[in-house]
Structure 1
Amino acid sequence: MHLILLAATPAFADGLPRSLTPDDFIAVDPAQAKLGQLLFYDPVLSGNRNIACSTCHHPDLGTGDGLSLGIGEGGVGLGSERTAGVGENRIRKRIPRNAPGLWNLGAKDLHTIFHDGRLSVADTYENGFNSPAEEWLPEGLDNLLAAQAIFPLVAQFEMAGNPKENEVAGAIHRRMDYAWPIIADRVLHIPAYAEGFAGAYDHINTAKDITIADIANALAAFMIWEWTSTDSPFDAYLTGDHTALNHEQKQGLDLFYGKANCSTCHAGPLMTDQQFHALGLPPFGPGRTRRFDPMVRDVGRMGESDALEDAYAFKTPMLRNVALTAPYGHNGAYPKLEGIVRHHLEPLKSLDNWTRDMAGLPSAPWLEAIDFMVWQDSREMARHRAAIQIEPTPMTDTEVDQIVAFLHALTGETAMSDKLGVPETVPSGLPVDARIDP
């Protein structure tokens, strides 16, 4: 996760939110979660059967990938050891944005997902969601997280692969919804999955009844089951245990909900307003922008809304377990919590002091010309700076340390204790991403 601190009228400590409880989250059937666990770690869902959801969202990396910009289809390895591939199989593009953590995405009050909010609960297309699939979104999705789960499967540089490499990528080239039945067909022809779905879902009697929506629902059930976190020291403090935070963390809490104005955006039990703010984070990578935009840049929310006031704005993330999910920012610009905190306190100063070695980008010499191209465009950089919505709030080194200490108090006591964990094998028989040594 990545944090946002916006200057405005502060919310002081007597206005603390209530703690999170399991009742704040969608209830999950254990059998469906177990089925989703296998699918989450199974490369069979990817176009070339060589990358799984877990590759970029691994539990040993806080449910992220530990990189600023991910290495998807064509990459080799995990985490900081992941490479950009070689020869014809090497990556053609870095993933434009940081792989977010998966904590608490089953919250009932969550209505918007992705850094630019391109997926949300809405009646725009009369299917319950506003999404990149528009009216072609499959029917039968249980919730927002299930809807999210199907999009990486049809993203060329994430899991689908390049046109002519496989039937999934070929179908996407025509229209993304043409690919989902192909992926579902792979799953339903694996006996263990057919049996698992029939046992977990009442409406599924035979393998041919399994659809991409069922696969997405199982993936969502697993992510909710595995990564719902409500037992941080902060949550204990909110329920009345004032010994749950040490002195430094308590000082940081007072700053977070007071002088530093963090809670202006990181509001409520989920610690997010689910809105979008321009922070002026150092830009790099291929960017993600509006269709047909020829520039290497990332316009953030404007790419979805086409509203100029949304330029360079990104969604306020939730903060439970933020200490586990480095690097920070929508593009992973800062490798440590201290860096992203200081950026929010003094954005222009931090932008000017940022150096390229802070970006965690696995070597890909054939992409180096693109990685920092945006810095050569003085007009784009000027627009980027002018859009910043944060007023500087300088603080002492001690105060910064206290805020960071408080952010560590948002880590769940059982966050790193697996519920289902990483399976040794998956029904497809394909290799499972290994555990990563600490």
Structure 2
Amino acid sequence: MLFYDKILSGNRNISCGTCHHHDLGGTDGLSLGIGEGGVGLGPERTAGTGEDRIKKRVPRNAPALWNLGAKEVRVLFHDGRLEISDLYGNGYDSPAEEWLPQGLETILAAQAVFPMVAQFEMAGNPKENEVAGAVHDRIDAAWPIIAKRVRTIPEYGRMFVEAFDHIDRPEQVTIVEIANAIAAFEGTEWQSYDSPFDQWLAGDTSALDDAQERGRKLFFGEAGCSGCHAGPRFTDQGFRALGLPAFGPGRTRRFDPIPRDVGRMGATDDLEDAYRFRTPSLRNVALTAPYGHNGAYATLEQMVRHHSDPEAARAAWKEADARLPEAPWLSAIDFVIRSDSREMARQAAALDIEPLRLSEDQIADLVAFLHALTGETALKRPLGRPERVPSGLPVD
């Protein structure tokens, strides 16, 4: 219920589920999301109108949620700005630094608190609501406001008392319990390990068709995909520069105002990390288009083709390839970074993958194998989208 309840957003108009919806494989189907101020769901979502229209696109693609509850997960967000760490004495190295509250049981719970206080995702703009205003003062000032909103709804208050042994009355509920509840949901709801490939691993050699079997051999062999997409979740949780086509507002820093995204470097301030992004899991990847940290490619074939020949794919990419809901007032910024020749040269030069020059048949076989990573019950989740939420707000 909390996952789909817009009560967690500053203006009560967007939920976690808006951008990570069951009907869309846990994502939103867009290259760059339409966050706070938008209207509708998925590819049909619009950028809003009048004073409520969006001020900026969400600068990165909405990541999938599959298997993020696994104990091995140690880093989250495209740039890894949330990591398990003792640096600040609260269990995590995060943008909240020492102000992240104690008691967040998993990294998934720690992640859950950040979209709520992100201006263009859920919080809204300063002066629009008390949450956005509090964030403007200091990041941790907003979480108590959100927690009070939730616990003062009688139905939620009763549910928290029933669910948590240490909660005897609703007044005790904080953002920590809210985040732990959301993480418990996400960590179980989005588990998926029943793909044809899993059947193959269990000994059923007929689980993969001929193309998928050829793709499997390529993936773990000549193509070298498993060097980065390793382990049962098909990610080593490392960071690499792929040289994807650049567009969008960028994830800018206060001292770096041009609309670019420097990736991991934005979290570490280490020049060696420039333009590197977290290796995503490939579980159910066929359900989570578009692909890349900015959703540059609409299909798996395009993404595999980019890995095969990044330079050629980058040169062939067209602005029309981006899935961006129309927002004329933002059009001047959507692709402006592409006119910066020096920045484009820097991004093109930062490349951690070797061109493979795969044949058309090999590309097709790899795509077939990636489809074999789709769980048979992936679209039949245990709980699914609720029909209603305790706040009474509409459910996307």
Structure 2: tracts of 5 or more residues without a match: none
Instruction: Give the aligned partner of residue 144 of structure 1.
Output: 107
Instruction: Give the aligned partner of residue 240 of structure 1.
Output: 203
| SS of structure 2 residue aligned to 1:39 | coil
| Residue identity in the other structure for 1:235 | D
- Per-residue deviation, 1:256: 0.4
Question: Counterparts of 1:292 and 1:75 in 2: how far apart (Å)?
Answer: 28
Instruction: Give the aligned partner of residue 6 of structure 1.
Output: none
- Per-residue deviation, 1:290: 3.3
Instruction: Give the aligned partner of residue 28 of structure 2.
Output: 65
| SS of structure 1 residue aligned to 2:11 | coil
Question: Counterparts of 1:379 and 1:225 in 2: how far apart (Å)?
Answer: 45
Instruction: Give the aligned partner of residue 376 of structure 1.
Output: 339
| SS of structure 2 residue aligned to 1:40 | coil
Q: Deviations over 1:267-292 (max 9, x none)?
A: 11121111100000001000013332
| Residue identity in the other structure for 2:207 | A
Instruction: Give the aligned partner of residue 81 of structure 1.
Output: 44
| SS of structure 1 residue aligned to 2:286 | helix
- 1:227 corresponds to 2:190: yes
- Per-residue deviation, 1:126: 1.2
Instruction: Give the aligned partner of residue 355 of structure 1.
Output: 318
Question: Counterparts of 1:227 and 1:269 in 2: how far apart (Å)?
Answer: 15
Question: Counterparts of 1:212 and 1:248 in 2: how far apart (Å)?
Answer: 48
Specify which of 160, 166, 185 is matched with residue 148 of structure 2.
185
Q: Deviations over 1:11-51 (max 9, x none)?
A: xxxxxxxxxxxxxxxxxxxxxxxxxxx10010000000111
TM-score by length of 1: 0.90
- Per-residue deviation, 1:212: 0.1
Instruction: Give the aligned partner of residue 114 of structure 1.
Output: 77
- 1:430 corresponds to 2:393: yes
- Per-residue deviation, 1:320: 0.5
Aligned pairs for 1:145-184 (under 5 A) are: 145-184=108-147
Question: Counterparts of 2:224 and 2:254 in 1: how far apart (Å)?
Answer: 35
| Residue identity in the other structure for 1:238 | L
| Residue identity in the other structure for 1:106 | G
Instruction: Give the aligned partner of residue 345 of structure 1.
Output: 308
TM-score by length of 2: 0.99
Question: Counterparts of 1:205 and 1:184 in 2: how far apart (Å)?
Answer: 16
Q: Check whether the contact 1:290–1:304 (CA below 8 A) recurs between aligned residues.
A: no
Instruction: Give the aligned partner of residue 19 of structure 2.
Output: 56
- 1:272 corresponds to 2:235: yes
Specify which of 269, 273, 280 is matched with residue 306 of structure 1.
269
Question: Counterparts of 1:230 and 1:129 in 2: how far apart (Å)?
Answer: 28
Q: Deviations over 1:68-115 (max 9, x none)?
A: 000000000001110000110000000000001110000111100000
Instruction: Give the aligned partner of residue 9 of structure 2.
Output: 46
- 1:320 corresponds to 2:279: no
Q: Deviations over 1:284-310 (max 9, x none)?
A: 000013332021100000101111111
Structure 1: tracts of 5 or more residues without a match: 1-37, 434-438
Q: Check whether the contact 1:41–1:53 (CA below 8 A) recurs between aligned residues.
A: yes
Question: Counterparts of 1:163 and 1:351 in 2: how far apart (Å)?
Answer: 38
Q: Does 1 or 2 have the higher relative contact order (CA < 8 Å, sep 6+)?
A: 1
Question: Counterparts of 1:429 and 1:59 in 2: how far apart (Å)?
Answer: 20
| SS of structure 1 residue aligned to 2:283 | coil
Q: Check whether the contact 1:245–1:409 (CA below 8 A) recurs between aligned residues.
A: yes
Q: Deviations over 1:346-381 (max 9, x none)?
A: 101100000111100000111111000111100000
Which of structure 1's runs of 4+ aligned residues deviate more than 2 A? none
Q: Deviations over 1:381-422 (max 9, x none)?
A: 000111112211011111101000000000011101121111
Q: Check whether the contact 1:289–1:300 (CA below 8 A) recurs between aligned residues.
A: no
Specify which of 39, 55, 66 is matched with residue 103 of structure 1.
66
Query: Percent identity at matched positions?
Result: 66
| Residue identity in the other structure for 1:102 | L
Matched pairs, number: 396
Name the Cα RMSD after superposition: 0.7
